[in-house]
Amino acid sequence: MKKIVKHLMGLSLVAAMLVPSVAALAQTEASFVTVTGVVKDENTRKEVPFASISIPGTHIGTVANADGEFTLKVLKSLNATDFEVTHIGYLNKRFNIEEALKSGKTYYIAPHSVPLKEVVVRPDDPESIIRGALTNVKKNYSEIPNILVGFYRESIKQKRDYVSISEAVIDVYKGAYQKEFDNDRVKIYRGRKSGDVKKADTLVVKLQGGPHIAMLLDIVKNPDVLLDPDMLKFYSYEVLDLVSIDNEMNYVIGFTPKVELDFPLYIGKVYVTTETLAISMVEFSMDLTDPNKAALQFVRRKPAGLRFTPTAATYLVTYKKQNDKYFLNYIRTEVAFKCKWNRRIFSSNYTIMSEMAITDRQMDGVTRFTAKESLKSTAVLADMVPVYFADDFWGEYNVIEPEESIQSAIKKINRKLKRNGN
């Protein structure tokens, strides 16, 4: 586990080479319709972040951003009539596409939960529930390889200013969940980055690994990150609640470290379905009680004389059920840290965010990418993709709508590029 933890967020000064992919077919704008809007709580009228939006009976979908906003592109050839919105603690709800195109901009979903005291909890202790979920991986998750189409975004902020924004549509070869994680591969279909990187600071921060970091956090496929059976004994577990996810009841099992090791552990929640014992979601954060210990897990390379102190490290992983199997749906990471040079009074504050949503999936005729066309695990996405932020860049591909702060940064980049004649 110690080796795996060290790769969750690698910061480095490295370069990489782009290996273009030959993925999906291009479509004309007339071949799809675009549904946009914001997901809100029916009772509070507040935005619901990270809701899943999908076309029932297909693998097509996306995820709302932190502001509840989404854009869903639907090929006309699907003849789809409805789209569905799902989120933890809410009832699934379907909306008519044709009506949404005419007047739909806000989509309300209703909260749904069952008090724990009104439910008969299985007699097993919480740790046994998690061990049962690990035992049931073969039954609950894909036994055959899949090709996943995903949208990946990473951003780096210095204080409130964006230093870098990089995005890509990626293809992922996802081997059977019973196979080794190292069998999975990623390749880039299309990507772009900001051209507004600030030069004021002497420190250049880059995220090493890119989409590989996201894939590493598939904790069901890669339990070494968090759910290594040999590591469970180092945590205390408690059933905190019972909630609905995708119309299935889930145990909410909280966990906290009960020992101190030479590397940091985690604090968080695992969501396990009550009927099938499938892991449907995990949200956790690194224990930063000893920030110096935690710092060793992040930095691959740093200049001499620089002190690196993490202040927050949070992770979210969700899965979605289709045809009695669970598939990777959304991954989000956020790491905040301080950097201070020796003999300098002030420090620099950075925040790195990355997220990936699975927007499509292929299960037939799947072949593994060659090593040559695959993205290296040491790659830096920002070094591999061009500067380009035209509004129609993504075409028919489903992406995660940028959050308000990122959208503002992109608009500034576009204005700058237009002034420069690009």
The more confidently predicted of residues 297 and 421 is 297
Q: Is the pLDDT of residue 337 over 80?
A: yes
Domain residue spans of the chain: 2-17+138-419, 29-109
- The letter for the amino acid at 290 is D
- Residue of 217, 147, 220, 211 whose CA lies nearest to 179: 220
Cβ within 8 Å of residue 335, ≥6 positions away: 9, 298, 310, 312, 313, 314, 351, 352, 353
Which residue(s) pair with 242 in the sheet? 251
pLDDT band at 241 (very low <50, low <70, confident <90, very high): confident
The more confidently predicted of residues 337 and 302 is 337
- Residue of 106, 75, 58, 60 whose CA lies nearest to 357: 60
- The helix/strand count (H/E) of the chain reads as 7, 19
Q: Is the pLDDT of residue 124 over 80?
A: no
Which residue(s) pair with 207 in the sheet? 11
pLDDT of 196 reads 55
pLDDT of 365 reads 87
pLDDT tens sequence across 131-145:
999 999 999 999 999
The maximal CA–CA distance of the chain, rounded, in angstroms, is 68
Q: Which whole number is the average pLDDT over 39-67?
A: 95
pLDDT of 266 reads 95
Contact 385, 191 (CB under 8 A): yes
Contact 67, 403 (CB under 8 A): yes
Contact 158, 201 (CB under 8 A): yes
The more confidently predicted of residues 405 and 319 is 319
pLDDT of 118 reads 54
Q: Is the pLDDT of residue 16 over 50?
A: no
Cβ within 8 Å of residue 121, ≥6 positions away: 239, 242, 251
- Classify residue 332 by burial, with Cβ atoms within 10 Å: 0-12, 13-18, 19+: buried
pLDDT of 338 reads 87
pLDDT band at 115 (very low <50, low <70, confident <90, very high): low
* Residue 18 vs residues 147, 188, 190, 280, 381: alpha-carbon distances, Å: 20, 8, 10, 34, 9
* Residue 323 vs residues 94, 161, 245: alpha-carbon distances, Å: 18, 44, 16
pLDDT of 415 reads 67
Per the rule left: phi > 0, alpha: psi between -120 and 50, beta: everything else, 68 is: left
CA dist 342 and 355 (Å) reads 33
pLDDT band at 6 (very low <50, low <70, confident <90, very high): very low
pLDDT of 112 reads 86
pLDDT band at 406 (very low <50, low <70, confident <90, very high): confident
Fold of 29-109: Immunoglobulin-like (2.60.40)
Q: Are strands 106-109 and 32-41 parallel, antiparallel or unpaired?
A: parallel
pLDDT of 1 reads 46
pLDDT of 202 reads 56
DSSP state of 47: B
CA dist 222 and 207 (Å) reads 21
The residue ranges of DSSP E strands in 159-210, in sequence order, are 161-174, 185-193, 206-208
Task: Tell whether pTM > 0.85.
Answer: yes
pLDDT tens sequence across 348-381:
888 999 999 999 999 888 999 898 888 888 888 8
CA dist 231 and 233 (Å) reads 5
Contacts 24+ apart (CB under 8 A), 180-183: 181/216, 181/218, 181/221, 181/222, 181/224, 183/368
Contact 245, 278 (CB under 8 A): no
- Residue of 394, 355, 381, 354 whose CA lies nearest to 19: 381
pLDDT tens sequence across 257-269:
999 888 889 999 9
pLDDT band at 300 (very low <50, low <70, confident <90, very high): low
Backbone dihedral angles phi then psi of residue 119, each to the nearest 5 degrees: -120, 140
The more confidently predicted of residues 117 and 182 is 182
68-72, 288-292, 344-348, range with the lowest pLDDT: 344-348
Count CB atoms within 10 A of the CB of residue 161: 12
pLDDT of 54 reads 96
pLDDT of 10 reads 52
The more confidently predicted of residues 127 and 299 is 127
